[in-house]
Structure 1
Amino acid sequence: MFNHTTRRSLVLGAAAAGASLALPATALAQAKAPLVGPLAPNPVEFQKQIAQFTGKATPQTEGLLLDVPVLADNPSAVPVKVKVTLPITEQDWCEEIVVLAELNPSPLSCRMQFTAAAGTAEAAIRIRLSQSQTVHAMARMKSGKVLVVKQAITVAASGCGM
């Protein structure tokens, strides 16, 4: 099983040997980051994801529902439901929904894109949580509105280290 130290050694060793790795930029950045533990939260990445999604829009807290359990007995598969409650029309529909786990090592849990033809913007997924934390959902409408919602969840044990 690879841990954070092993991954770092592989990435840095391969780079020194002239090999190229097909890893996402975030994985390479994590491999070169100071070792603070493989399950450490990444607040910089979390804030970056929020800033990239919202852009210059002022997020509004109405129009988006987030359904997660208050207590997750299986943190490796926490059920999450997200639904846009604003009317979906040909002029204004939900283009994208993201789900973020604030204290996970990789906060972006899910990204879903929609078209006007979908007629609705809702999804049910399962995410892995590293610890008790707040789950955030954001939706971007065609009109430029950004909808946000969040909910705290308590987990029984870490799901990211399993």
Structure 2
Amino acid sequence: MTTTHHLTRRHWVAGTAALALPSAVLAQATQAINPVAKSALVGPLAPNPAEFRKLMEQFTGGKPAQAEGLQLDVPVLADNPSAVPVKVKVTLPITEQDWCEEIIVLAELNPSPLTCRMQFTAAAGTAEAAVRIRLSQSQTVHALARMKSGKVLLAKQATTVAASGCGM
């Protein structure tokens, strides 16, 4: 038991010393890392605007999105960034000729912007859902809905998070 305690303390001390390196030393160490490894250290938690634009383009098919007909409810201040409540509802009439086929929720500044994808059929009678998403930082949340007629609906709302959620 004494050995275990001693090892635990030594690991703690070693871990603490590593955090105390001067920023100049850390900068030199980062520059010495090859570019692939460097991007792996920085990239996984960084925003991915190219992926966000790609998902928007794929979903809309290049068509302009309509700002009316989709309701998005996201708290203005999210105290738990690991579980931010999001409600999405299509407010247009759902008929046998035109219904919501799919809704996606995108977090613009998340490393992986697609947070949720839901598909519907005409038999659903409504297109609404409530989910919880993870946000990496304060940002705008976008919801898009594609109707059977090809019409694309868009709603977005800014939210402020209390702390980082994706790095946890």
- 2:125 paired residue number: 119
- Report SS of the residue matched to 1:129: coil
TM-score in terms of structure 2 length: 0.76
Code of the aligned partner of 1:34: S
- Report SS of the residue matched to 1:38: helix
User: 1:138–1:146: 8 Å Cα contact kept in structure 2?
Assistant: yes
Structure 2 regions of 5+ residues with no counterpart? 1-35
- 2:106 paired residue number: 100
**Identity %, equivalent residues:** 83
- 1:45 paired residue number: 51
TM-score in terms of structure 1 length: 0.78
C-alpha separation between the residues in 1 aligned to 2:135 and 2:122? 32
Q: Does 1:34 align with 2:35?
A: no
> How many correspondences in the alignment?
132
C-alpha separation between the residues in 1 aligned to 2:37 and 2:119? 31
- 1:110 paired residue number: 116
From 81, 96, 112, the counterpart of 2:87: 81
Kindly provide the CA deviation profile for residues 45-92 of structure 1, in whole angstroms up to 9, marking residues without a partner as x: 000000000003221100000000000000000000000000000000
Q: Does 1:140 align with 2:142?
A: no
Larger radius of gyration: 2
Q: Which runs of 4+ in 1 moved over 2 A?
A: 31-38
User: 1:57–1:144: 8 Å Cα contact kept in structure 2?
Assistant: no
Q: In angstroms, what is the RMSD of aligned CA positions?
A: 1.5
Structure 1 regions of 5+ residues with no counterpart? 1-30
User: 1:42–1:103: 8 Å Cα contact kept in structure 2?
Assistant: yes
Code of the aligned partner of 2:68: E
Higher helix share: 2
Kindly provide the CA deviation profile for residues 7-58 of structure 1, in whole angstroms up to 9, marking residues without a partner as x: xxxxxxxxxxxxxxxxxxxxxxxx8893434321000000000000000322
C-alpha separation between the residues in 2 aligned to 1:113 and 1:133? 25
